[in-house]
Structure 1
Amino acid sequence: MNDAAIDYAGVFQALPGMVALLTPDLIYVDANEEYLRVAGRTREQVVGRHLFDVFPDNPNDPGASGMRNLAASMARVVATGERDAMALQRYDVEDPERPGEWEERYWSPVNAPAFGPDGKVALVVNRVEEVTELIRARGGPGGSRSRVLEAELYTRARELQELNERLRQAHAREREVALALQKAMLPAPRQVGHHQVAVRYRPAAGALNVCGDWYDIVDLVGGHGMAVAVGDVVGHGLEAAGVMGQLRSALSAASRVAVGPGEALNVLGLYAHVVDGAESATAVSTFIDFDHHTISYSSAGHPPPVLVHPDGRVEFLDQATDPPLDARPDPFPRPQAWTAYAEGATLVLYTDGLIERRGEDIDTGLARLADSLDRHREEDPEDLADAVLLELLPPGGATDDTALVIVRL
């Protein structure tokens, strides 16, 4: 069934709870049947009228403030664009058939925004739960107090539920901002001469936080080489994204002047000492020499790059490994190794989200990666990247971020 086949007006009227729609000026636009039934009003007595005209505060009670509190809550929704859950409210509701007679009612309201095409609040959704019967005494004063306490506990539980929902929404907004920031700081996919490069970034599935995975691709001085690196910052959200951007920029600059990846990572390690949040960050850097068909590499606590040779042989570049960037208090030269490649080989760099699974040895993930790269090695980098992600990431997505860079040499 598509949206066109759904009678949303009918669904609104059939909602089991009390729901009304008001404009930002607090004019009723609609109210469902349950709202009208419990409020004791007809549609004509509600729709098109102002909140205070339909439900004025009791003029005979100077302390009556239920409707003013409701109006203030709705004003907050319009101003902030966020849901507002109210505490249990007492209202004196005038009997429409007997003007001047007021009935004590207890309602538990929640107000939420409905946005228009311009992104502004177009309507306020007023959802109400009727709890008057929980308040009214049925067993004398003691029974009345018991029911008041019961209603208050019910309200507190609902407020906690609303608070949890607002926290979830706040985390979700932070995740969106962090993703946008991360995307803005990562280099775009490109081709360097006839060397095709495919890049992928996948955030952790179902997570409210974004980790600090990153990649970088730099043309080396002279135009006959390219530096490719990936890294991972421990942490989540905006802070991790900001640290990621600092480290990526620093390594990008260092790679342009360093004589090799070991020196570039050594400079990055020194820089990581003065960056809050860079503790235990990892990175691996590779320098590709197109003239001599060699790859030099160095790793700071990161999973090894993979070189897939044209004949299908899979080589893990793991002969120059070192602790994470900020692991050593004093400067120490990073190790560096090199290997040769033939034209048509494929270089693959990635972050641990691609291979690591809880309760599984890392060698199992590396073997899975090697098998996938071997079987799909003749595909172009873009198709190869998609195939690797499809086969290695769990169906529901990984619990950690994943960055992947594939270079056809």
Structure 2
Amino acid sequence: MNDAAIDYATLFQSLPGMVAALTPELVYADVNEEFLRVTGRKREQIVGHHLFEVFPDNPNDPDANGMRNLAASLQRVLATGERDAMALQRYDVEDPERPGHWQERYWSPCNAPVFGPDGEVVLVVHRVEEVTELIRARGGRSTGRTRVLEAELYTRARELQDVNERLRRAHAREREVALALQEAMLPARRQVGDHRAAVRYRPAVGALNVCGDWYDLVDLVGGHRLGVSVGDVVGHGLKAAGVMGQLRSALSATSRVAEGPAQALDVLGRYANVVDGAESATVVTTFIDFDRHTISYSSAGHPPPVLVHPDGGVEFLDRATDPPLDARPDPIRRPQADTTFTDGAILALYTDGLVERRREDIDTGLARLADSLRRHRAVDPETLADAVLLELLPPGGATDDTALIIVRL
């Protein structure tokens, strides 16, 4: 039998477990017959309705967290394009025949993406196994041994839920502290003489995937010059934030006395060699000379800056790229290149969270960035930065944090 001979709609409806198809907006696109049977709903009560409109949390249970946990799992699938199996969940369901009466129910959910032709997630398959009868004792129908085992399983399930909740709160606290540390160490937006700069940092979705990205703007000695840099530390959380702060501070100090960006990265690479956690960090730095209308740049394994000329021409500054920091046991002098600009041009530096997507060549992301910068080049840097982030970051947030600097030259 070939694919053409298979009625997949009938196959979907006949699946033995509970299966639903959700849109990226978490609206039910379809459910199978088993889903309707177990939930006690009719198709018109589910299909076309938002997930949490049909199945809200039990308002009588102040500790109910099923809706929050399920929403987090579904958003992870939408953001990462990866399957997400959830821990056992208690998720009470309102009795469809007795409004206001809630049934204690336990579920084992798993969520998986369905991709469209462009590689984007277009649906989420939400498969659920009800395990209520395995969790709670069944009264006289259970043997004594069965009741003991079921009670023990119930206890272990509640303990697992408690552990998951404590871990979630601990991760949330670490995320909050790391973000506060990151915000304290990164410079704010600024006016650079007659030139304006906009800076943005967007943390990743998830509990810990934050605080590896950084940026810096430094007034350079001699003439009307500015150093602009971005970098990315491997890892996340408090440790990444600490390494980020050390590298940013070191490059900031080095740039003020270095002859050029290549020398600044030479010194930073030697410093990274003695910083635990700085291995394979990437960074690109540019020295802008507003008097001579030149940009000198050097990159240690980082995506190239983008220079957008007033006429709409786009230039990737990719002629001075070298391996990441601490990639060589015996560092050698890093390359450096120069380019020119005219008044009104735009320079953008960013981290890979802005342009990299799973199952997509990075050139696609770079082309998307170039097009966005070109189309919006006439607006002020603050508006331009917001427009770029809106167009390039996924609606649910990226899985890697993102830093962006835009300077009007």
Deviation per residue, 1:339-378 (Å, 9 max, x gap)? 0000111110000000000010011011001101110000
Q: 1:331 offset after TM fit, Å?
A: 2.2
SS of residue matched to 1:209: coil
Equivalent position of 2:60 in the other structure: 15
Whichever residue aligns with residue 326 of structure 1, its letter is: D
**Pair 1:150 & 2:150 matched:** yes
Equivalent position of 1:361 in the other structure: 361
Whichever residue aligns with residue 15 of structure 1, its letter is: N
C-alpha distance in structure 2 between counterparts of 1:270 and 1:208, whole Å: 28
1:207–1:399: 8 Å Cα contact kept in structure 2? no
Equivalent position of 2:378 in the other structure: 378
Equivalent position of 1:289 in the other structure: 289
C-alpha distance in structure 2 between counterparts of 1:310 and 1:404, whole Å: 20
SS of residue matched to 1:254: helix
Alignment of 1:380-399 (within 5 A): 380-399=380-399
Alignment of 1:172-187 (within 5 A): 172-187=172-187
**Pair 1:242 & 2:287 matched:** no
Equivalent position of 1:269 in the other structure: 269
Equivalent position of 2:84 in the other structure: none
Deviation per residue, 1:6-42 (Å, 9 max, x gap)? xxxxxxx9727999xxxxxxxxxxxxxxxxxxxxxxx
Equivalent position of 2:299 in the other structure: 299
Whichever residue aligns with residue 331 of structure 2, its letter is: P
Alignment of 1:137-286 (within 5 A): 138=140, 143-286=143-286
Alignment of 1:8-47 (within 5 A): 15=60
Q: 1:207 offset after TM fit, Å?
A: 4.2
SS of residue matched to 1:307: strand
TM-score (norm 1): 0.66
SS of residue matched to 2:332: coil
Equivalent position of 1:68 in the other structure: none
CA distance 1:228–1:147, change in 2 (3 Å): same
C-alpha distance in structure 1 between counterparts of 2:203 and 2:357, whole Å: 15
**Pair 1:311 & 2:356 matched:** no
Deviation per residue, 1:135-159 (Å, 9 max, x gap)? 98x58xx933431232111111110
SS of residue matched to 1:204: coil
2:211–2:236: 8 Å Cα contact kept in structure 1? yes
CA distance 1:249–1:151, change in 2 (3 Å): same
Whichever residue aligns with residue 210 of structure 1, its letter is: V
SS of residue matched to 2:274: coil
TM-score (norm 2): 0.66
2:320–2:335: 8 Å Cα contact kept in structure 1? yes
C-alpha distance in structure 1 between counterparts of 2:289 and 2:145, whole Å: 82
2:179–2:211: 8 Å Cα contact kept in structure 1? no
SS of residue matched to 1:159: helix
Which stretches in structure 2 are left out of the alignment for 5+ residues? 1-57, 65-135
Equivalent position of 1:105 in the other structure: none
Equivalent position of 1:350 in the other structure: 350
C-alpha distance in structure 1 between counterparts of 2:166 and 2:181, whole Å: 22
1:175–1:237: 8 Å Cα contact kept in structure 2? yes
Deviation per residue, 1:182-230 (Å, 9 max, x gap)? 1101011110111100000000123433141000000001351000000
Equivalent position of 2:327 in the other structure: 327
Whichever residue aligns with residue 311 of structure 1, its letter is: D
Q: Sequence identity, in percent?
A: 79
Whichever residue aligns with residue 378 of structure 1, its letter is: A
Q: 1:162 offset after TM fit, Å?
A: 1.3
C-alpha distance in structure 2 between counterparts of 1:371 and 1:171, whole Å: 37
CA distance 1:376–1:150, change in 2 (3 Å): same
Whichever residue aligns with residue 381 of structure 2, its letter is: P
C-alpha distance in structure 2 between counterparts of 1:161 and 1:379, whole Å: 50
2:223–2:291: 8 Å Cα contact kept in structure 1? no
Equivalent position of 1:109 in the other structure: none
Whichever residue aligns with residue 216 of structure 2, its letter is: D
C-alpha distance in structure 1 between counterparts of 2:182 and 2:60, whole Å: 41
SS of residue matched to 1:160: helix
Whichever residue aligns with residue 271 of structure 2, its letter is: Y
CA distance 1:152–1:247, change in 2 (3 Å): same
RMSD of equivalent CA atoms: 2.4
SS of residue matched to 1:197: strand
1:212–1:232: 8 Å Cα contact kept in structure 2? yes
C-alpha distance in structure 1 between counterparts of 2:360 and 2:287, whole Å: 31
2:209–2:400: 8 Å Cα contact kept in structure 1? no
C-alpha distance in structure 1 between counterparts of 2:59 and 2:197, whole Å: 55
1:135–1:148: 8 Å Cα contact kept in structure 2? no
Aligned length: 284
